[in-house]
Structure 1
Amino acid sequence: MESAITQVSLLENYRSVRAQTQFLCDPLEIEDFVVQPVVDVSPLKWHLGHTTWFFETFVLKPNVDNYKEFNPKYPLLFNSYYISAGDRWTRENRGQLTRPTVKEVFEYRSYVNQQMEAFLQQDVSDEVENVVVLGLNHEQQHQELFLYDIKRILGDNPLHPVYRKDGKASENKVIQTEWLEVQEGTYDVGFEGEGFHFDNEEGRHKVFLHAYQIASGLVTNGEYLEFMRDGGYANHMLWLAEAWDWVNENNINAPRYWSQADGGDWWNYTLHGFEKVNMNDPLCHISYYEAEAFARWKGCRLPTEQEWEIACNTFSSPRSKEMNFVEERNFRTVRTEDYDFLGNVWEWTSSPYVSYPYYNPPAGALGEYNGKFMVNQMVLRGGSFATPRNHIRTTYRNFFHPHLRWMFSGIRLAKHI
């Protein structure tokens, strides 16, 4: 059994994570919670219901005698992809549901919070604590998705509504990018030690890396604009075949949220409203297709996820105060004095999302958390300005389909020596 001190800490962590979700909701109007413009974006009220359903389904129902569900029909609505946990409402139809209302979803959240508060006042087993901690990290993932979706919902509105007015202004900071060198050798990658981690980080193993160089900073808006002005989106030789089809079928000619009127300055929608693009800020909202084409145009390449991890462990300090995480409340990319391996934007790698050696997903529904998605997706590393600082690790493996770019994604270059 766990000590009372540990249980108090677990309860405090629960309160903190749930309060952060509420903080993200505070600037919104009720209409913002119900929109689903595309299949990749879930209505904001669904995120609130889904993260609440997780604790009700995997913590309270199995461990509280005679637990009474808030609404027995809610699991159908708020289950995402856990086939083992029951039937699910289809993802593309989440925006059709005007009921439950936003008010009712918040009542559901409050009810489960009360039940969790009471449950976490007592000692719980290591196994149950692990599920609670997984649920907290799961909610932190949805907090970041929540911000992606807020920006997608507001970003195409011609009124360019402001999400937050309290963020810091973008600075015109210029930092010279250099090449960091990593020597040839055999390295260990993957999670090792104590503390929370997702199952897809497991299977620590050795990899051989040829000597390589990796950029000391992220690609900036100004650097990417040079690619655009040089006809990057029109040069088929820079693009993978599937990527070239995507560019032409979707009329892609700039990063997501960028726009230009009559050949003038480039502007972009930010969580602070519609602003002129700051050319010194790290680039954001780039697909893998665009990242790969830009790297090819520069005569470089994207790093593998193993190269990224070793470089991050070699050159980045996890205690650096320069890192741009959600706690900084910038809600945008900013240039920092550090190498930006952690925070700011998720960095595309050239690695497909596949399992590590010795990977063994847990049994039951929670085993569906990561492993079932190990196909047709690419790995991103490092976190973003929407990631909680205590949520990221150098071994953290994010993954998205290569055409997506509504998330906070950017580019770091690498090259052979």
Structure 2
Amino acid sequence: MTQSDLTQSDVTRPDVTRSRPGTGPAEPGESPEQLRERVAALLGRSRERSTRLTDLDDGELQAQHSPLMSPLVWDLAHIGSQEELWLVRDVGGREPLRPEIDGLYDAFQHSRSSRVELPLLTPAEARRYVGEVRDKALDVLHRSPMRGRPLERDGFAFGMIVAHEQQHDETMLATHQLRSGARVLDAPAPPRPAAPVDAAAEVPVPAGPFEMGTSAEPWALDNERPAHTVDLAAFVIDAYPVTNGRYTAFVDDGGYDDRRWWTDTGWAHRIAEDLSAPRFWSRDTDGTWWRRRFGAVEPVPADEPVVHVTFHEAQAFARWAGKRLPTEAEWEKAARFDPVTGRSRRFPWGDDEPTAAHANLGQRHLQPAPVGAYPGGASALGVHQMLGDVWEWCDSGWHPYPGFRMFPYPEYSEVFFGGDYAVLRGGSFGTDPSAVRATFRNWDHPIRRQIFSGFRLARDAGPDI
């Protein structure tokens, strides 16, 4: 994980006094004492989630549930390894605990499919290791001035490690979805909208400049920086992510068999992988669609955002619907731009950190919420559910912003620029509030659909916008 030199230019916020530590990213202007309290709470919450996700027998932890994913025990020890490297050794200047295992848990040295063959720590050894690392990291936290060099300034290194653990927790959640056998995770159903909504509703976005990215968010990563002005033509964007009901119409209309809707690359992948519906869907003899979700089989709910689709599937649906996917800049403008003030918000709903009333985040629920379930999370333009529920594919490649500066290491962002990746924005129901914001950028290969990926549609505006 990562980030670059911190300045205070794109958002001005008053000092905030709290009776409890925040649950989201660091707030600009927090004191060192507030930051330490926030970081300690976030580290604890991350570890509680990691523990829940690895509360399985040794065989389940050491198995490779899919060649796309690491064994869960690798993810657990990797979390500890990164925490040791950055907080214990670098920030704290302490002696290494287990230097002999560094290479085993270096993601660039071993592919996910090969990690099951490595001499990994046993589950008991991994739990003991991450516990020892955490004890030392907390001691480093209490001694850190939260000032000075960029890695420590505003608690950046600690925020980076919080986000890293939560990102691997989401990866482990995806592994749980891929594993066979009975359900081992549970959570309450998400909220439902107070009244039905038009799932195909659109929102016009006016032409003009807006500020994209950030130069002020304390824990923003290097690929989110710096803030810069982007001038866009007017466009129209869907108020909600595309639902299962809308997507089912595409499937039932023969969308997977109609070459017209697919790019050459997308069609080749569809044929090679024999795609015929979103991953984990199956159709009964009476035509009813079912899905497998964390070990349970249930009817596909029509009003939830579709999930587990590739970029190619999203693009084919968009063509079938007579629209397109939004670009990354269009997505961010729809999420952040306030037409009244002309400024870009930290989050779609404003500058306050996420709560359960704003978005479906943090694995509180194990599925996307029905569209319209979070009216309090709408953007200033009236676009809903842009954070949480499903990662949204954008029709943009993975590139740096103008003025990009790598920090603190190239393997977080820089080495991936220019590949065949497509951008995803917004987070999913499995993304923690501490690991996402309206400027946060994600990317993956366009063929991936084990991730919690969906999309919304856009189109060019007519002369009336």
Q: 1:75 aligns with which of 102, 107, 122?
A: 102
- Partner Cα separation in structure 2 for residue 175 and residue 346 of structure 1: 21
- Judge which range, 342-351 or 56-65, deviates more: 56-65
Q: Which residue of 1 aligns with 2:216?
A: 193
Question: Does the Cα contact within 8 Å between 1:227 and 1:297 map onto a contact in 2?
Answer: yes
The reply to whether residue 260 of structure 1 matches residue 283 of structure 2 is yes
Question: Does the Cα contact within 8 Å between 1:324 and 1:384 map onto a contact in 2?
Answer: yes
Q: Which residue of 1 aligns with 2:198?
A: 176
CA drift at 1:164: 2.0
Question: Does the Cα contact within 8 Å between 2:58 and 2:123 map onto a contact in 1?
Answer: yes
Amino acid at match of 2:452: F
- Judge which range, 251-260 or 97-106, deviates more: 97-106
Aligned Cα root-mean-square deviation (Å) = 2.2
CA drift at 1:206: 1.8
Q: 1:332 aligns with which of 345, 351, 367?
A: 367
CA drift at 1:322: 4.3
Question: Does the Cα contact within 8 Å between 2:242 and 2:456 map onto a contact in 1?
Answer: yes
Q: Which residue of 2 aligns with 1:378?
A: 422
Number of residues of Structure 1 aligned to a counterpart in Structure 2: 400
Q: Which residue of 2 aligns with 1:390?
A: 434
CA drift at 1:222: 1.1
Q: Which residue of 2 aligns with 1:47?
A: 75
Segments of structure 1 that go 5 or more residues without pairing to the other structure are 82-87
Query: Where in structure 2 are the equivalents of 1:5-404 lying within 5 Å?
Result: 5-26=34-55, 28-64=56-92, 67-69=95-97, 71-81=98-108, 88-97=109-118, 99-126=120-147, 127-128=151-152, 129-152=155-178, 154=179, 157=180, 159=181, 161-168=182-189, 174-177=196-199, 178-271=201-294, 273-314=296-337, 316-318=348-350, 321-326=357-362, 329-335=364-370, 336-338=373-375, 339-362=384-407, 366-374=409-417, 375-404=419-448
- Partner Cα separation in structure 1 for residue 91 and residue 322 of structure 2: 57
CA drift at 1:193: 2.1
CA drift at 1:45: 1.0
Higher helix share: 1
Query: Residue deviations 1:291-343, cap 9 Å, x none?
Result: 0000000000000011111111147415571411125x111011114311111
CA drift at 1:399: 0.5
- Partner Cα separation in structure 1 for residue 398 and residue 217 of structure 2: 24
Distance 1:380 1:63, change over 3 A: closer
CA drift at 1:257: 0.5
Distance 1:106 1:240, change over 3 A: same
Query: Residue deviations 1:9-60, cap 9 Å, x none?
Result: 433332232222223333x333221222444311111111111101111221
- Partner Cα separation in structure 1 for residue 242 and residue 186 of structure 2: 26
- Partner Cα separation in structure 2 for residue 112 and residue 255 of structure 1: 40
Question: Does the Cα contact within 8 Å between 1:350 and 1:379 map onto a contact in 2?
Answer: yes
- Partner Cα separation in structure 2 for residue 416 and residue 270 of structure 1: 36
CA drift at 1:416: 0.9
- Partner Cα separation in structure 2 for residue 119 and residue 60 of structure 1: 7
- Partner Cα separation in structure 2 for residue 35 and residue 179 of structure 1: 45
- Partner Cα separation in structure 2 for residue 65 and residue 340 of structure 1: 42
Amino acid at match of 1:145: T
- Partner Cα separation in structure 1 for residue 191 and residue 42 of structure 2: 31
Distance 1:334 1:7, change over 3 A: closer
- Partner Cα separation in structure 1 for residue 96 and residue 392 of structure 2: 43
Question: Does the Cα contact within 8 Å between 2:104 and 2:118 map onto a contact in 1?
Answer: no
Amino acid at match of 1:175: V
- Partner Cα separation in structure 2 for residue 175 and residue 376 of structure 1: 36
- Give secondary structure in 2 for the equivalent of 1:274: strand
- Partner Cα separation in structure 1 for residue 114 and residue 374 of structure 2: 44
- Partner Cα separation in structure 2 for residue 245 and residue 143 of structure 1: 32
- Partner Cα separation in structure 2 for residue 12 and residue 114 of structure 1: 14
Distance 1:3 1:405, change over 3 A: closer
- Give secondary structure in 2 for the equivalent of 1:367: coil
Q: 2:450 aligns with which of 398, 403, 406?
A: 406
CA drift at 1:215: 0.5
